Structures are given as C-alpha cells and as structure tokens.
C-alpha cells in the first residue's frame, strides 16, 4: 500500500510517499524561507501563491524519487487544517483532484495528528502514548489513545513555543525561522546570565504560557547599556531563553506524565514532535525527565519533526487502513482541535 501526502499549511510545500511497511519512498520539502525572510515572518498570501507555484513540480519529484507512478497510489492525503487557510486550500484541492482522477480515496489529515503519529512511522510506537506537540502554532500535551482519539491535557494560554523562539530571535536580530538560529547561537552563551521567568511553574495542570517569558526577554534586551546588543549579549540571551524553555517544557511534561499514568498506568512512551522537538537542548532535557520517570522518550529525526509531507502521507495511511477516508467536499479548516471535547484533564471546559 502506498499513500501520497501533501503539506501546505504554513511555509513549507512538501510531498511525501510512504508504504504500510513504514518505508519512506520519497520526502521532498521546499522551504519558502527566502520568500518570507524580508518580512521577518510568514506572509499568508505569499505562502498560498508559492504553494500553488511549486506543488506540481514537487509531486513529480516525489514520484521520480520513489520510482513509482500515479497508478501505484492507493490514496492521496493532504493537511486539511489547522493552518493558514489559503495554503491548506491549495493542498487539499490538489490532493482531491489527484484522488478524483485516479479513482482512489482522499484523506483529510489534521496537521497536529500528523506530528503526533510520525513516531509510529519512525519508531513503531504503540498506542497509547503521551505526546508533546511543540510547533510554531501550537504547544500541547495530549494523550494519544488511537488514530483519531486524543485527550487534551494542556495547551498554551497565549503564544506557541515555536512562536516564542521566532519572536526572541527577531529581538536579537537573528534570522527567521528563529528556532534553529537560537539553537545555533546558544552554545556560545551563558545560560545563567539572565534569570528569565518560567511561567506556570508550580501550578497544577499541563497548560503552558510563553508571553511573559517573551516580554522578559524584551525588557532584558532594552535594559542593556545603550540597548546595544553585542555578540556575547545575543548568545547569553539565546542561552538563557533556551534554558528557560527547557525548564518550562520539562515541568509541564512532568505533570502530564502523572496525568497520563492515571489513565494508562502501564504505558511508558513520551513522544515529542513538531519543529521545536528538533532542538537538541529540548531533546536532552526531555530525555533526562523521561529517565527519571521511567518513560521512553521517542523523538523523530529532526527533518521529520519540522513540517514535511511524509507525516501527512503516514497519517493518511493510518486512517485509510481504518477505513476513515473523506469525501471530496471536505472543507479546509483553519482551526481543527485534536480533542473535539476540548476539556481539561480534570473535566473542566477549556476556554475557546
């Protein structure tokens, strides 16, 4: 069984091909970073047009790389949300058209589910597992009970963690996207120089908050003599910020592990996924936590943590295997919560 996946929800146009034997036949990713860099962030209109310009060539490249023809495809999947709606519409429309012409099923994939399920492709992780989804648009802790069955333990009350990396990098005059830039700069810095806050620390539950940390970085930068940033200052802020993020993620994940164990006393897997899980400091810190709590940490390789078409193809395949395909009138969704009940672990309603 071979499934193609299209990813167009943000600033990567990507196509992946996978098999039911967990084989990656093709993984082509075109980053639009150069097109968005002058604006210091992703411009939705530019992204949508770029997806439209590039997806066809990428589909061909993926097929060539895999050495397969359209007649070999068993289904076509696309990210149908959450994400920038213009781009999501390009991907879903393209996937629907290919599926219609081939007479094979179309699968609408939730982008966050795809990040979570990547660990099943790369490491054969079984359900249930606990997942930290740390991306540019989200920061969530969920219990993954099965394909399509997630329980939200916590989410960010303000900024996503990747967004915090991007904004801090911008304050420091580093490039975009900020996560890899902060990671590259931090090893030269002193993580103890700035005592940045750890929002939510000590509070029960698994929610996150990053805006206070971001504001603290802004104030620290402004308070530098003449507000002039030397290389050492940049490295120290990056290191101190990254250390704070590590502490925050570890502290909230520790609470999530306790909540997860109440639901699944014997389960032992913590998955970290999404672009921020590509960060080596984050991986190391989560690994230490997992060891302490007798959990197994599974993090996909960096290139499969950041956005890609392989994770969409894999999620499409998992859904296809369970007969969960979609109609061609499936509408792209700018918002698409993984847990439609949208409740906290304690049963309280979650703010919208």
Query: Interface residues with Zn ion (CB under 5 A)?
Result: 135, 307
**Residues 170-209, buried b or exposed e (16+ Cβ, 10 A)?**
ebbebebbbbbbbbebbeebebeebebebbbeeeebbbbb
**Among residues 154 and 162, whose Cβ is nearest to ligand KG4?**
162
Q: Which of 5, 86, 87, 180 binds ligand KG4 (CB under 6 A)?
A: 180
Work out whether 139 is an interface residue with ligand KG4 (CB under 6 A).
no
Q: Which of 86, 177, 246, 316 binds ligand KG4 (CB under 6 A)?
A: 177
| Residue 326 touches which of ligand KG4, Zn ion, none (Cβ within 5-8 Å per kind) | none
Work out whether 7 is an interface residue with ligand KG4 (CB under 6 A).
no
Closest CB 240 distance from Zn ion, rounded Å: 26
**Among residues 196 and 344, whose Cβ is nearest to ligand KG4?**
196
**Among residues 117 and 295, whose Cβ is nearest to Zn ion?**
117
How many C-alpha atoms does 196 have within 13 Å on its Cβ side? 30
Work out whether 279 is an interface residue with ligand KG4 (CB under 6 A).
yes
Structure-block tokens of residue 55: 């997806």
Q: Which of 128, 162, 246, 337 binds ligand KG4 (CB under 6 A)?
A: 162
Closest CB 206 distance from ligand KG4, rounded Å: 19
Closest CB 225 distance from ligand KG4, rounded Å: 29
**Among residues 95 and 221, whose Cβ is nearest to Zn ion?**
95
Structure-block tokens of residue 233: 């200052």
Cis ω before 177 (30° cut-off from 0): yes
Rounded CA separation 198/27 (Å): 37
* Residues paired with residue 76 on neighbouring β-strands, in sequence order: 4, 106
**Among residues 11 and 233, whose Cβ is nearest to Zn ion?**
11
Give 229's DSSP letter: -
| Triad 8, 14, 15: Cα angle to 5° | 115
- For residues 124 and 117, the answer to whether their CB atoms sit within 8 Å is no
Sign of the torsion formed by the C-alpha atoms of 252, 254, 255 and 260 = positive
Work out whether 5 is an interface residue with ligand KG4 (CB under 6 A).
no
Query: Which 292-351 residues touch ligand KG4, going by CB under 6 A?
Result: 306-307
Q: Applying CB under 6 A, which part among 46-54, 132-140, 322-330, 341-349 lies near ligand KG4?
A: 132-140
Instruction: With residue 257 as reference, give the H or E element that holds it.
Output: helix 231-263
Rounded to an integer, what is the distance from CA 214 to the centroid of its chain? 20
The 3-state DSSP class for residue 185 equals helix
Work out whether 178 is an interface residue with ligand KG4 (CB under 6 A).
yes
**Among residues 67 and 303, whose Cβ is nearest to ligand KG4?**
303
| Residue 162 touches which of Zn ion, ligand KG4, none (Cβ within 5-8 Å per kind) | ligand KG4
**Sheet of 75-81, strand order:** 24-31, 12-19, 2-7, 75-81, 106-110
**Among residues 111 and 344, whose Cβ is nearest to ligand KG4?**
111
Instruction: With residue 164 as reference, give the H or E element that holds it.
Output: helix 161-171
Give 6's DSSP letter: E
**Among residues 26 and 276, whose Cβ is nearest to ligand KG4?**
276
Work out whether 87 is an interface residue with ligand KG4 (CB under 6 A).
no
| Residue 179 touches which of ligand KG4, Zn ion, none (Cβ within 5-8 Å per kind) | ligand KG4
**Among residues 175 and 205, whose Cβ is nearest to ligand KG4?**
175
Q: Which residues touch 280 (CB under 8 Å, ≥6 apart)?
A: 183
Closest CB 287 distance from ligand KG4, rounded Å: 15
Separation in Å, CA 24 to CA 1, 31, 124, 158, 309:
12, 20, 13, 36, 10
Work out whether 165 is an interface residue with ligand KG4 (CB under 6 A).
yes
Interacting residues with ligand KG4 (CB under 6 A): 10, 135-137, 162-163, 165-166, 177-180, 183, 274-276, 278-279, 306-307
């Amino acid at each position: 069984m071979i499934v193609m996946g299209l990813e167009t929800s943000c600033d990567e146009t990507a196509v992946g091909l996978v098999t039911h034997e967990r084989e990656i036949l093709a993984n082509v990713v075109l980053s639009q970073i150069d097109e968005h860099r002058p604006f210091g962030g992703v411009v939705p209109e530019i992204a949508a047009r770029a997806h439209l310009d590039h997806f066809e060539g990428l589909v061909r490249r993926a097929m060539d790389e895999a050495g397969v023809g359209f007649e070999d495809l068993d289904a076509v999947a696309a990210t149908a949300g959450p994400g920038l709606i213009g781009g999501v519409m390009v991907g879903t429309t393209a996937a629907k058209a290919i599926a219609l012409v081939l007479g094979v099923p179309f699968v609408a994939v939730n982008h966050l589910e795809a990040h979570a399920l990547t660990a099943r492709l790369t490491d054969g992780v079984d359900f249930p597992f606990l997942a930290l989804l740390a991306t540019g648009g989200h920061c969530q802790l969920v219990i993954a009970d099965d394909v399509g069955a997630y329980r939200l333990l916590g989410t960010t009350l303000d900024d996503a963690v990747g967004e915090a990396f991007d904004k801090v990098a911008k304050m420091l005059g580093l490039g975009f996207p900020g996560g890899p830039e902060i990671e590259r700069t931090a090893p030269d810095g002193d993580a103890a120089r700035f005592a940045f806050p750890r929002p939510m620390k000590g509070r029960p539950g698994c929610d996150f908050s990053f805006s206070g940390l971001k504001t603290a970085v802004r104030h620290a930068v402004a308070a530098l003599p003449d507000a002039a940033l030397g290389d050492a200052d940049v490295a120290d802020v990056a290191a101190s910020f990254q250390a704070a993020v590590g502490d925050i993620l570890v502290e909230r994940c520790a609470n999530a592990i306790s909540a997860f164990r109440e639901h699944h006393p014997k389960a032992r897997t913590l998955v970290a996924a999404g672009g921020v899980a590509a960060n080596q400091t984050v991986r190391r810190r989560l690994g230490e936590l997992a060891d302490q709590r007798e959990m197994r940490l599974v993090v996909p390789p960096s290139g499969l943590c950041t956005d890609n078409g392989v994770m969409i193809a894999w999620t499409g395949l998992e859904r296809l295997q369970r007969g969960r395909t979609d109609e061609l009138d499936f509408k792209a969704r700018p918002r698409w919560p993984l847990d439609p009940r949208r409740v906290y672990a304690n049963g309280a309603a979650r703010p919208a």
